Amino acid sequence: MKRIYCFLIFLWPLLSNGQTNNSLSIWNTVPDIELHQLINYKDTSARLSDFKGKLVILDFWSTYCKTCIKGLPKLDSLQKEFDGKIQILLITHPAGSNFGPASIKETFAKWKKAGLYIPAIPVATSGNEAIISMFPHEYIPYYVWIDSKGRILALTSYLLMTKQTIRTLLNKD
């Protein structure tokens, strides 16, 4: 367990991409932000506090990112395997003007028609600038790991999105 923390702390400067004064960093508590325009969720909005007690993983992604798209089946699989213990949330990167719920649903419909994978995990589409500004990043997918008490554990790339990392973080004191 200590090894993963040391590893995360060692990688953090490399993976956090130069934070600004408005951004949050490791061990900060994330404000109880509301996520808007959700799809694949029971409501169209949710607060981060709705997932308190779980390991929350924010995945900043986009429909144009091949690495993001290739990782969607894995994310769904991890969500199912650790159901009740984690919550993975896709936060759509506003790279263009067409990233609202209708646009994302249309993109998913095109993917389905083409035989591509459609995620089942919640997707926050437009109106989420507050959370995006808290976690500035230069690449996607970009992951923010938030513990059950709302503190940031890590800011990483897709390389640490593994069963072992999740198990380690769930089994911490």
Q: What is the CATH number of the domain that holds 110?
A: 3.40.30.10
The pLDDT > 70 percentage for the chain reads: 84
User: Based on the structure, what is the number of domains in the chain?
Assistant: 1
The dihedral over CA atoms of 37, 40, 42, 48, expressed in degrees to the nearest 10, equals -60
Range(s) of the domain holding residue 140: 2-170
Phi then psi for residue 87, to 5 deg, are -140, 115
pTM of the model: 0.84
Residues 6 or more apart in contact with residue 101 via CB below 8 angstroms: 37, 38, 39, 44, 125, 126
Tell me the per-residue pLDDT of 26-47, one tens digit each, with 9 for 90 and over.
889 999 999 989 999 999 999 9
Tell me the per-residue pLDDT of 67-108, one tens digit each, with 9 for 90 and over.
999 999 999 999 999 999 999 999 997 755 467 888 899 999
Tell me, rounded to whole angstroms, the distance of Cα 140 from its chain centroid: 10
Predicted pLDDT of residue 24: 86
Would you mind telling me the total number of residues written for the chain in this entry?
A: 173
